[in-house]
Chain A
Amino acid sequence: MAEVTLQRVAKSFGRVQALYPLDLSIRDGEFVALLGPSGCGKTTTLNLIAGLEAVSAGTITIGGRDVTRVAAMEREIAMVFQSYALYPHMTVARNLGFALAVRRMPADQIAARVRRAAGVLDLLPYLDRYPRQLSGGQRQRVALGRALVRDPKVFLLDEPLSNLDAVLRLQTRAEIVRLFRSLGTTAVYVTHDQAEAMTMADRIAVFSAGRLLQFAAPLEVYLAPANRFVAGFIGAPPMQFADVVAAPDGVRFGGMTLPCAVPRPPGTALVLGLRPETVELGPAGRGLPAVVDLVEHLGGLQIVYLRCGAATLAAQTGAALRYRPGERLGITVEPSAAYLFDPGSGATLAAPGLSRP
């Protein structure tokens, strides 16, 4: 167990700046998700912590020890790769015990550790099989087990669930959360799936284009996003945006006024953000007029996309009521649910999480 600290860590490949100077302080035993679209720098960050890439600048410490120039194999970390990277020519048991064998641990101790890890991961019946004889879920568990037996200071996981089908992914997600809660070991988890990050992580680090945008607890990232990108990336269905102008009593768009607190003088151009779950649908004439554009049924709930003036908004409601495209409705929004962003920098000006005392 150990805390992981990155100080002014940057990485460039030739002239391409993959990661701008970054400060990240991960606490002992914390489960941190690095979240962002592909190419945002999250995997680069993970590889830097692992020692698979050398930093271009900055310092990395693990458990108080400066490991910036320490070889990957001596950093006492274990990594689970997206492709699992199992050794195809070794049985499950040998795959699990390989790292211990390399470190010259006595065979009986290796066997004991392998059995313990295999027990935790339900792999005991498969110890003599080869990776090619396993299902995708079983291979994924072997990859996890290979990290577990090492008893490392830090676990690094690179999108370990992305090769699983949807049902198995949800199931494994819960299993991994349970496993890491019981281990209490520091873990860094790279994902592009905001739902994985929200449900699994103690804190989420959101990346975009090589920059860390926000590092906070899931609900904080959700309620008080640092900027428009984070607001749009976290939450499903995603937040919808509209160009608006500040007015004394709210924001104006398309001749309508949405009442809310505006921290800018009237006439300033702003971007309004509304989360679909905060948009209430009602009969036409109540609130802002809107026309149903598209309806997505998700079983227990539905997402209704609406045209409201020049803007497209979305509302998430229960499945009880039926809406048809072209139908005229009225929408209402709690003033406190409105997010406001600077149209130039994208910085958050107002958010429910910010206005709280």
Chain B
Amino acid sequence: MTTAGPPGVGASAAGRAARGLLILLALAVALGPFAVLFLNSLRPADDFLRPGAGLVPDAITFAHYAEVFGPGSDTLRFLANSLIITTATTVMAVSLGALAAYALARLRLPFRLSLVIGLAFLVVRFYPKITVALPYYLIMRDLGWLDTHAAVILAHVSITVPFVVWLLLGFFEELPREIELSAMLDGCGPVRRFVQIVLPLSAPALGAAAVLTAFLSWNEFLMASSVASDAAKTLPVRVSSFITDKGTAWGPMSAMGTVIVLPVMLFALVTQRWLARGLTAGAVKG
């Protein structure tokens, strides 16, 4: 008779194989689209519409990258826009969000107002963004801010701040209050308490919030495309303009898509340990 151990401990060969298969399947689902994108970016232009073309291109070319980054192309300008907007959004959203979350976590508001405000922040994330895209366009037009970095940054900050608040609210609530009381008795005012005690202790959570905010801003398409037509255009918006009424430029589009996705993947790989720690912080006391 075999004893039924906990799953994963001393599992049979068949069980291990099944588990391996499941992981491979998950990997395929996660990485498959990127693999197709990457392979297409290397595919010669005439191979795209050839009947019977396989998933893997017959020949490899770097012509699309040359075209995307070549002389006379605007790609570097759009890359710079993306970097500026992502950086500014991350700094502003995390700073604002951290302050708001800390205040909500520490103020003793009556009628459970902290919870209500916290939930309101969450609700902001539920409705379709398209409902605000048009009014936002009109506001920016009237302000004369169309096609400026500020317009895109403001949109991105407003999208990401609620997310940052929600993430950090839980973290700050878990942060032992007595440590701050102790700092208070040690003579620290509110600012010093926040800077010297709370911030260093929240570094993992702030890091996680920053990384996720950066991803959101870097990838965001709808708001950026509605207010940025050229000078403040970001890479995701640029990608969409490869689809024209004269046809779709598959090769250059795939090349630029790879350029957008690659840094995100590398960044995620580098920060993943940190990210996991920040997202689960508070669940396990350190």
> Is chain B a partner of chain A in the same complex?
yes
User: Which residues of A pack against B, CB within 8 Å?
Assistant: 50, 52, 72-73, 77-79, 81-83, 85-89, 98-99, 102-103, 132, 146, 150
Closest chain-A Cβ to B189's Cβ sits at a distance in Å of 8
Closest chain-A Cβ to B64's Cβ sits at a distance in Å of 48
- Name the one of A77, A85, A89, A132 contacting B182, with C-beta atoms under 8 angstroms: A85
Q: Are A98 and B178 in contact (CB under 8 A)?
A: no
B216 at the A interface (CB under 8 A): no
Q: Are A89 and B181 in contact (CB under 8 A)?
A: no
For the A-B complex with A78-B185, A79-B182, A102-B186 known, give 13 more contacts whose Cβ atoms are closer than 8 Å: A73-B185, A73-B188, A79-B185, A81-B178, A85-B176, A86-B179, A87-B183, A87-B197, A88-B286, A89-B201, A99-B185, A102-B188, A146-B182
In the assembled complex, which residues on chain B have CB atoms less than 8 Å from the CB atom of A98? Answer: 183, 186
Closest chain-B Cβ to A322's Cβ sits at a distance in Å of 46
In the A-B complex, the 4 residue pairs with the smallest Cβ-Cβ separation, listed nearest first, are A99-B186, A85-B178, A85-B182, A102-B187
CA distance A265 to B201 in the complex (A): 68
Q: Are B179 and A85 in contact (CB under 8 A)?
A: yes
Closest chain-B Cβ to A4's Cβ sits at a distance in Å of 16
B192 at the A interface (CB under 8 A): yes
23 A-B contact pairs sorted by A residue (CB < 8 Å): A52-B181, A52-B184, A52-B185, A72-B184, A73-B186, A73-B188, A73-B189, A78-B185, A79-B182, A81-B178, A82-B178, A85-B176, A85-B179, A85-B181, A87-B182, A88-B179, A88-B201, A89-B200, A99-B185, A99-B186, A102-B188, A146-B186, A150-B186
CA distance A83 to B286 in the complex (A): 13
Closest chain-B Cβ to A144's Cβ sits at a distance in Å of 13
CA distance A98 to B182 in the complex (A): 11
In the assembled complex, which residues on chain A have CB atoms less than 8 Å from the CB atom of B183? Answer: 87, 98
Closest chain-B Cβ to A94's Cβ sits at a distance in Å of 11
Q: Which of B183, B186, B192, B286 is packed against the most chain A CB atoms within 10 Å?
A: B186
In the assembled complex, which residues on chain A have CB atoms less than 8 Å from the CB atom of B185? Answer: 50, 52, 72-73, 77-79, 99
In the assembled complex, which residues on chain B have CB atoms less than 8 Å from the CB atom of A50? Answer: 185
In the assembled complex, which residues on chain B have CB atoms less than 8 Å from the CB atom of A77? Answer: 185
In the assembled complex, which residues on chain A have CB atoms less than 8 Å from the CB atom of B201? Answer: 88-89
> Would A132 and B187 be within 8 Å (CB), given that A81-B181, A89-B201 are in contact?
no
User: Which residues of B pack against A, CB within 8 Å?
Assistant: 176, 178-179, 181-189, 192, 197, 200-201, 286
Closest chain-A Cβ to B127's Cβ sits at a distance in Å of 36
Q: Are A87 and B184 in contact (CB under 8 A)?
A: no
In the assembled complex, which residues on chain A have CB atoms less than 8 Å from the CB atom of B178? Answer: 81-83, 85
In the assembled complex, which residues on chain A have CB atoms less than 8 Å from the CB atom of B182? Answer: 79, 81, 85, 87, 146
CA distance A87 to B286 in the complex (A): 12
Q: Are B181 and A99 in contact (CB under 8 A)?
A: no
CA distance A339 to B187 in the complex (A): 49
Closest chain-B Cβ to A19's Cβ sits at a distance in Å of 18
CA distance A146 to B185 in the complex (A): 11
Closest chain-B Cβ to A26's Cβ sits at a distance in Å of 19
CA distance A99 to B184 in the complex (A): 9
In the assembled complex, which residues on chain A have CB atoms less than 8 Å from the CB atom of B200? Answer: 89
CA distance A89 to B176 in the complex (A): 14
CA distance A86 to B186 in the complex (A): 12
Closest chain-B Cβ to A160's Cβ sits at a distance in Å of 12
CA distance A83 to B179 in the complex (A): 9
Whose C-beta in chain A lies nearest to the C-beta of B188?
A102
Closest chain-A Cβ to B130's Cβ sits at a distance in Å of 44
CA distance A103 to B178 in the complex (A): 20
CA distance A173 to B66 in the complex (A): 76
